[in-house]
A and B are shown apart, each in its own frame.
Chain A
Amino acid sequence: MILAIAEQHGGQVSSVSWEAIAGAQHLSTAANGLKVRVVVIGSSVGDAAGQLAQAAVEEIVTVDHPALGTYAADGYVLALEAVIAKLAPSYVVLPHTYQTRDFAPALAARVDRPLITDVIAVKGADAGPVFTRLVFQGKMAADVVPEPGAPCFVTFQIGAYRADAAVRGASPAPVVPAIVPMDAAAIRQRPEAPFREAKQAVDLSQAERIVAVGRGLGKQEHLAIAEQLAGLLGAEIGASRPICDLGWLPLERQIGSSGQTVAPKLYIALGISGAIQHAVGIKGAKTIVAINKDADAPIFEVADYGVVGDLFEIVPALATELRK
């Protein structure tokens, strides 16, 4: 059996949970048709379980406990360790979110089983499924196999499977509460309520055109050439994380998993290597242009048009051409 761990926030199932279910269903076909169950944990998870019951899976398992209300790593590990002991799954799959990254390694270590993270594809093989993940900053793909035994924990990269690819059932899946012992005193973290910093003034998600800059810009004063190009194109300026970390552009201009997700018609990446954290934020872009001096930069994997060269030569030439 494959156990997919859904993520919910305030009773709302996040769309990445559906990606994980789609991944679990795909893994099922690569693993001799193992059944899929979904577990959702938290406090008052009835609504979330109801949403998940649409999936074509064997059952929805719930763990409902006041101590699981606000996420804390120890609470999740305790609850899921008990669920895993009870259900004895062959695979446990999760979406590769920041929350998963916080507790899944501890959970896998607690039961001393493999955790294969950030998986982008699963291949069936005689000896069991093989998992593909990117290594060396996205420059290489690695086929990985776990040591034999159960369970094997797998996290799927965001976007590896589409949420709408999760097969829905003809009738709702049964919802089965799991009673697990929860010792609230064993939760060492004391989480406070999540919050947002000041409201974002720039909404890049609606921009039609974006010129984004990365580490390859070299110096803050070089922003001017990107801004000039953006001006000529009527584009917004965006950036990869390092640029915002350096304070060259405000955080609200950051594109990627920890910043904004964008879907412009035209996205021009200047000196951006295209690490996966950035690439997931531009998946919705229609046309991506990458200009980078490193021909091996992973940005060229996702670009429609690529230029290997010096952005300080190419960008002024583009400006000249646009002025014609």
Chain B
Amino acid sequence: MRIAVCIKQVPTREGQPRLNESRTWVREQDASFEMNEPDQYAVEAGLRLREQHGGEVVVCSAGPARVAQVIREALARGADRAIHVEDDRLAEADAAVVAEALALHMRGEQFDLVLTGLQSDDQGFAQTGVILAERLGMPHATIVIEVQFADGGLRVKRELEGGWYQWVGMPLPALLTIQSGINQVRYATLKGIMAAKKKEIRKVAAPATLAARQRIVSLYLPEKTKRTEMISGTPAETARELIRRLREDARVL
């Protein structure tokens, strides 16, 4: 089984992002980056499927040179090799652009199964995986929590809203977006980190023209819908004041 897992490198979750001068993206030089958390579950799901059914796991990522960091991380966890579509313009690209950059180089690989995370922690489009399926001509299912192989195809459990679930069958090759939290993500071992250094990362170029379908014209702090009263002081003072307000102002105690 040839499994591809697409991962994205995103600014870290902690703290407030600092913006560039045009206020359309983060200041790259100030930001620290990490593997998009939902993608970590996709990597783990890919590794587990390979362990059960054999084959290889190929990590695919589109972004600037810095993306190599998360590719190495996935290789250290056990992925076999990687494809890096390297281009600075991909740092803040929209979902369609990223999907097309990935599809260009994934098409020839004859993958049986492509896994992605649910959405990204930075732009949160929740569409790159599904567009990629469309560009690769594969059927897809999203928000998948369980994967079974049956009759030469797939049977996957999808999470719906409000506590509902659904099984969906489809032929291979196929693309699945993996629900976050479905597995316990493994850490890289020292041996894994050493082994990753010898693994192949194939660097390839993005298409010459990247046609953005949408663009950010400005980033700003969200407008508050509520006036939040902040309470500070020592823990004892804070507790006393909070309880007083809940009793006297909000009248909920």
Contact = CB atoms under 8 A, between A and B. Distances in A.
Counting chain B residues whose Cβ lies within 8 A of the other chain, the interface size class is 35 or more
A64 interface: no
A141 B139 contact: no
Interface of A: 72-74, 97-99, 101-106, 108-110, 113-118, 130, 133-147, 188-197, 200, 209, 233, 241-242, 244-246, 257-259, 265-266, 273, 286-287, 289-290, 294, 296, 298, 300-310, 313-314, 316-318, 320-322
B251 to A, nearest CB: 9
Contact of A314 (B127, B218, B239): B239
B130 A102 contact: yes
A166 to B, nearest CB: 20
B82 to A, nearest CB: 24
Given A101-B142, A101-B143, A301-B222, A317 B95 contact: no
B229 interface: yes
Contact of B181 (A114, A200, A245): A245
B65 to A, nearest CB: 22
Given A197-B165, A306-B231, A134 B222 contact: yes
Which 7 pairs between the two chains have the least Cβ-Cβ distance? Answer: A245-B181, A105-B127, A317-B239, A105-B130, A188-B139, A114-B213, A190-B169
A257 B238 contact: no
9 contacts: A105-B131, A106-B134, A106-B140, A108-B131, A115-B127, A133-B124, A140-B219, A194-B160, A195-B164
Interface string B129-168: 1110111000111110000000000000011110111111
Main secondary structure on A side of the interface with B: mixed
Contacts of B194: none
Contacts of B253: 233, 266
Interface string B194-237: 00000000000000000111111111111111101111100110
Main secondary structure on B side of the interface with A: mixed
A304 B222 CA distance: 16
A266 B252 contact: yes
A135 B17 CA distance: 10
A105 B166 contact: no
Contacts of B211: 147
B32 interface: no
B52 interface: no
B161 to A, nearest CB: 5
Contact of B161 (A97, A300, A301): A97
A307 B225 contact: no
Nearest to A138: B222
